[in-house]
Amino acid sequence: MNVPLRAGVIGAGFIGAVHARAVHTLGQDLAAVAASTPARSREAAAELGARAAVDSAEELAAAPDIDVVHICTPNALHAPLTRIALDAGKHVVLEKPVGTSSAEVADLVRRWRDTDRVAAVPFAYRFYPVVREVRDRVRGVPVRLIHGVYLQDWLSRDSDTNWRVQSGLGGPSRAFGDIGVHWCDLAEFVTGQRIARVHAVLPRVVPVRAGVEVDTEDAALLQFETEQGVFGSAVISQISPGRRNQLQLRIDTPDTEYAFDQQVPEVLWMGGREETRILHRGDPALGPDATSRNLVPAGHPQGYLDSFTGFIADAYAAMRGEKPDGLPTLADGARATAITEAVLDSAARRDWVEVTPG
C-alpha cells in the first residue's frame, strides 16, 4: 500500500480549497497550509482540515516534512515559490500562469528539467471522461475547423473587481491568461494540433473598477491557425452576464461536429447531416480511456471537482513513478505563456503573430 504523500497548500482562496479537497478525497495527507498572514494561515488550516498552519508561503515551500507543494497564490508569486520548492526537492502542483513573462518561465522550466521532480499544472478540463472520448474520436480524422467560447460573468459589472485586474499581481493578460489558455490547452489536447499563429483583439470595456484604473483586458477575440493548417476561433470573456463558466469546444470533421460543453459535462453532442446524436458519459459506446474515468454509474453526474481530483490523482501517480496519459506539466504551462505572449503581441500590432515554438 502506498504511503500517503504529505501535501502543503499555499493559498486559501477558492482554488486552494479545491486542491485541499482533492488531497483529502484521494486519502493523502494535507500536512500544512499557508495563507496571506500567520493568522489567516491558522484559520485556513482549520477550514481546510490541514494538520498544521505555516506562517509564510516561503517557509512552507521549503518545509522538510512536505513532499508536494500546491501553489495557489496570486500569479506574481507562482514562479518564485516554485523555484523555492524545486530547490528544496519538492514536487509541485502549480496554478497557471506559471510565470508572468517568457523569460521567467524559461528559467523555471530549465530549473525543473534539472530535477527528477514532477511539476504539474492544473489544466483539469482534460480529465472529463467526455473530453477523453472526443480526443479518441477525432485523432486520425481530418479536422476542418476548431471553434468555441469560454465565457464567464464574474466581472460583468463596473463595480466588480479582483486582484487579477491589476497586471502587477495577475500578469499582463487577465481574461486570456486566466481562462483563454484553458480553452487553447483543451483544443490542442483534444485535436493533437498545436496553434502556430494568432490574430487577437483584447477589449478592455470597463477601464475603471471600484475607482481603480484597470490595465488588463475583459475579453479576447481570437483567430488562429494550427501547424497543420487548420483554422479556428474563440471568444473569451469575463463580462458575459449569465455565463457562469461556459467552456465550449467544437471540432468539425468531414462527417461530424463534436461539441463539448463544460457546464453540461455528461454528454457529447455529435452533429451530422443525416442525424444528430447525443452520447452520455457511461454509455457502453464510450472507449476505454473515457470509461476508465467514470467514477460513478451513468446517471450520477460527474463534474468539475471530480475532474480536478482526477488531475491530482494522475499528478500524484506520476510522483510515485507512474506515467499517466495526458498529465499537464510545467511544459504545458510554458506553452500557455507562449500563446499568451503571442496574443498580447498580436493585439498590440493588430496583425498575425507566430507563436514561439516550445
Alpha-carbon distance of 226 to 194, in angstroms, equals 5
Q: Does the pLDDT value for residue 1 go beyond 80?
A: no
User: Helices marked H in 88-232 — which ranges?
Assistant: 102-113, 129-138, 167-170, 175, 181-191
Alpha-carbon distance of 163 to 169, in angstroms, equals 6
Q: What is the 3-state secondary structure (H, E, C) of 184-226?
A: HHHHHHHHCCCEEEEEEECCCCCCEECCEECCCCCEEEEEEEE
pLDDT per residue as tens digits for the range 179-199: 999 999 999 999 999 999 999
pLDDT at 189: 98
Check residue 301 and report its DSSP letter: -
Is-cis flag, bond preceding 97, omega within 30? yes
Between the alpha carbon of residue 190 and those of residues 8, 181, 185, 247, the distances in Å are 31, 14, 9, 14
Q: Does the pLDDT value for residue 144 go beyond 80?
A: yes
Q: Does the pLDDT value for residue 74 go beyond 80?
A: yes
pTM above 0.85, yes or no: yes
Number of H helices, E strands in the chain: 12, 17
Name all domains of the chain by residue range, CATH numbers in brackets.
6-117 (3.40.50.720), 126-299+329-349 (3.30.360.10)
| 76: Cα separation from own chain's centroid | 17
- More confident position, 1 or 10: 10
Q: Where does the pLDDT of residue 357 fall: very low under 50, low under 70, confident under 90, or very high at 90 and above?
A: confident
Between the alpha carbon of residue 48 and those of residues 24, 52, 54, 140, the distances in Å are 9, 10, 13, 44
- What is the average per-residue pLDDT within 137-158? 97
User: Can you read off the three cell numbers belonging to residue 83?
Assistant: 523555484
pLDDT per residue as tens digits for the range 75-134: 999 999 999 999 999 999 999 999 989 999 999 999 999 999 999 999 999 999 999 999
Task: Give the 3-state secondary structure of residue 77.
Answer: helix
Alpha-carbon distance of 238 to 257, in angstroms, equals 26
- Residue from 127, 19, 123, 10 nearest 75 by CA: 10
pLDDT at 31: 98
What are residue 271's DSSP bridge partners?
Answer: 257, 276
- What is the average per-residue pLDDT within 289-314? 95
Alpha-carbon distance of 45 to 9, in angstroms, equals 10
Q: Where does the pLDDT of residue 265 fall: very low under 50, low under 70, confident under 90, or very high at 90 and above?
A: very high
Q: Where does the pLDDT of residue 261 fall: very low under 50, low under 70, confident under 90, or very high at 90 and above?
A: very high
User: Helices marked H in the chain — which ranges?
Assistant: 14-25, 38-48, 57-61, 78-87, 102-113, 129-138, 167-170, 175, 181-191, 288-292, 304-319, 330-349
